[in-house]
Structure 1
């Protein structure tokens, strides 16, 4: 186990730096959008374009890797990401920022694909779960601690953009120095979305619901904080509480879902997420208190377990030779939710107030709970279960992103006639 950890230590360090910079920059951009006078609706559109870029990266980044190999591709993605971050302060316009967010999402998808596929290749069946657990801790710690970088400079100035750009550049160093062997890509066929839904309706709806919730809170949480007059330090603590809370309950809830009907645990988790949202709204109405950070941590702990449980539910019902295709389809389902979540939530916030972010999540999670309850009446429990594995708040994993891009490449190669020599 420890030999494997040592072999991927540089990859984990690069990934932690990436998530630290990306987590800070996402929050910074939400705050800076309001400072620049952009409406809440426009801010939601800007943030949603990041997830659209991730989908484009999931479909096309592997062509870059196939052409330039893993290390040079990572260097290219990180360099472009670093430049795009700085370009935000040179081109202060909503349309420019939307395009830059697409570029950032594309590059981030490529870098995640490279780091995670390397880690999977270096892991074995015996220690893969433990290595993944360490990876997920790095993910949440990086994103959570990155929030506190907001306090080192004024968001209205250029310094924080420079800090994010510097960290993205420094993230190059560990992976450029690694001795880890690049993985051999698989070439699965893609499963249609209709077939995926027939396999597991709860898995698909749960994944879309998680995309709606996670992208909305990640993108518009800072806008909510600014809307209720939190200071920069309080906003960074609020966002960090949500992200770090997501790390705490992954395994306890995951193990419960392994022991009991996963849909029941998913239903309870969805309702507890809605209850945590209600607590945040109530605390906000009473005036600021430290309890809002406790409620935020509880909210993050529950809401970030919805996606991995939905994924596990889909894998429970999938044929064993279709697991990779199912994971690729779930990435698409998550991307659908993530792309429209900030748009819908921002429209509601702009019209009715910042607290509508959490009312939107309440409606979303309550619908998921009702849907799970309805499906439990249709399909009884008792299937062979796949093991629960934690997944990131961004909804990305190497199995999903890497299999998606490789399936696209292999399908295009089959369609391209071979030239005769």
Structure 2
């Protein structure tokens, strides 16, 4: 028997001050977590490399958070019916903060698999609930803009992580202690601004978890395509660049250009999505993602051509994530929205898991342009799905 009702404070009339406090709480929280991630990912990779860990084991260890996401996301909506969102987020922050010194105290690659998996569970909870919170605060006039701001601030936090790593170094306990403190600091905006304003779920979703992939295929698969594309860019594009003749420094530098596009274009795309048919925006993002992928071999010989191409590609393809989340918020409410957000994060995680292995296998078959075939093939399939949904799904009038 279903419980009586769904109570969500974000659906109640909030004063402008309460709405600002709520937005500050959730966006500041996730941006600080992003900074902690931006430090920890390269730190762990560097330490494993320094210890002589084989590249295959480094790759498997790096995949643990994605595996944790795949395992944990179906259970998050149910947990939110039993645990208040603020308490849930604070618990996730505590687990993630404690995990950092645990890496230092237990310097074994095999124990790191377990620690990274548990840390991945906590990070999954943080991302799913924060995105659910943002979607509940938004309305159809500003949903794309708010999600664009959320994504931009998160990307800025993630991008600033390596700068912090440069300042604290990679030796001894210091970097782990600093990262733990940074992640723990994410609790402050929740306690100062978010208490009493987080969404509450008190009923079961009306749909099964798997049904969201059928009910909203364009929105949910946008997460998968972006997860695979982003992971391919950061993991495989430097390898591609070196194999076509770039220096290692240039191949690494182009990642900053892709990240800059991510940061600067999310808000404009979100604003566009608030004023246009969001399925059309999603289709355009997918088309430019396909064209950008195909263009890479033709412009990569010149940094002056490659840089603007990669900036535009990175800026527009991130719209798959921004607009995909926006479409879910437009379509679902309450417990269904919590489940839809969880499904979206799971699809992103699946994309991150399958992208690099597929691209790596393709590069083995056609070195190095198999990467372009793999990425382009995935984007091309998604263009067909996004186009099918745009031309056949019922039209939703954009907010005035």
Give the aligned partner of residue 404 of structure 1.
none
Give the aligned partner of residue 205 of structure 2.
188
C-alpha deviation, 1:148, in angstroms: 2.0
Give the aligned partner of residue 20 of structure 1.
35
- Give the 5 Å matches for 1:13-412: 13-61=28-76, 69-121=84-136, 127-155=142-170, 157-181=172-196, 182-185=198-201, 187-191=204-208, 193=210, 199=215, 205-217=221-233, 230=248, 235=252, 239-253=255-269, 255=272, 258=277, 261=280, 264-275=283-294, 277-278=296-297, 282=301, 296-309=310-323, 324=337, 328-345=342-359, 359-360=370-371, 362-370=373-381, 372-373=383-384, 376=387, 380=391, 383-385=394-396
Please give the per-residue CA displacement for 1:138-185, whole angstroms capped at 9, x wherever unaligned: 212211222322321433554333321120122222222235423221
Give the aligned partner of residue 10 of structure 2.
none
Q: Is the 8 A contact 1:15 1:139 kept in 2?
A: yes
CA distance in 1, matches of 2:172, 2:63: 24
C-alpha deviation, 1:52, in angstroms: 1.5
Q: Is the 8 A contact 1:311 1:330 kept in 2?
A: yes
Q: Is the 8 A contact 1:203 1:311 kept in 2?
A: yes
Q: Is the 8 A contact 1:273 1:302 kept in 2?
A: no
RMSD value over aligned CA atoms?
4.4
CA distance in 2, matches of 1:10, 1:379: 35
SS in 2 for 1:24: helix
The 3 A distance-change label for structure 1 pair 372 and 240 is closer
Please give the per-residue CA displacement for 1:4-32, whole angstroms capped at 9, x wherever unaligned: 22443233322221111112222333333
Q: Is the 8 A contact 1:274 1:365 kept in 2?
A: yes
The 3 A distance-change label for structure 1 pair 5 and 290 is farther
CA distance in 2, matches of 1:177, 1:319: 29
C-alpha deviation, 1:50, in angstroms: 0.7
SS in 2 for 1:187: coil
CA distance in 2, matches of 1:173, 1:322: 27
Please give the per-residue CA displacement for 1:225-283, whole angstroms capped at 9, x wherever unaligned: 9997756x995x65544333113233555638738845751442222331464478545
Please give the per-residue CA displacement for 1:114-151, whole angstroms capped at 9, x wherever unaligned: 44444455555655544333322221221122232232
Note the residue ranges of structure 2 that are not aligned, 5 or more in a row: 1-14
Note the residue ranges of structure 1 that are not aligned, 5 or more in a row: 284-288, 389-421
Bigger Cα displacement from structure 2, 291-300 vs 175-184: 291-300
The 3 A distance-change label for structure 1 pair 173 and 323 is closer
Q: Is the 8 A contact 2:238 2:251 kept in 1?
A: no
CA distance in 2, matches of 1:380, 1:86: 52
Q: Is the 8 A contact 1:46 1:97 kept in 2?
A: yes
Q: Is the 8 A contact 2:68 2:120 kept in 1?
A: yes
CA distance in 1, matches of 2:221, 2:396: 19
SS in 2 for 1:178: helix
The 3 A distance-change label for structure 1 pair 67 and 27 is same
- Give me the TM-score of the superposition, normalised by structure 2: 0.73
CA distance in 1, matches of 2:281, 2:175: 42
C-alpha deviation, 1:220, in angstroms: 6.5
Q: Is the 8 A contact 1:209 1:337 kept in 2?
A: yes
C-alpha deviation, 1:47, in angstroms: 1.6
C-alpha deviation, 1:107, in angstroms: 0.6
SS in 1 for 2:53: coil
CA distance in 1, matches of 2:142, 2:343: 26
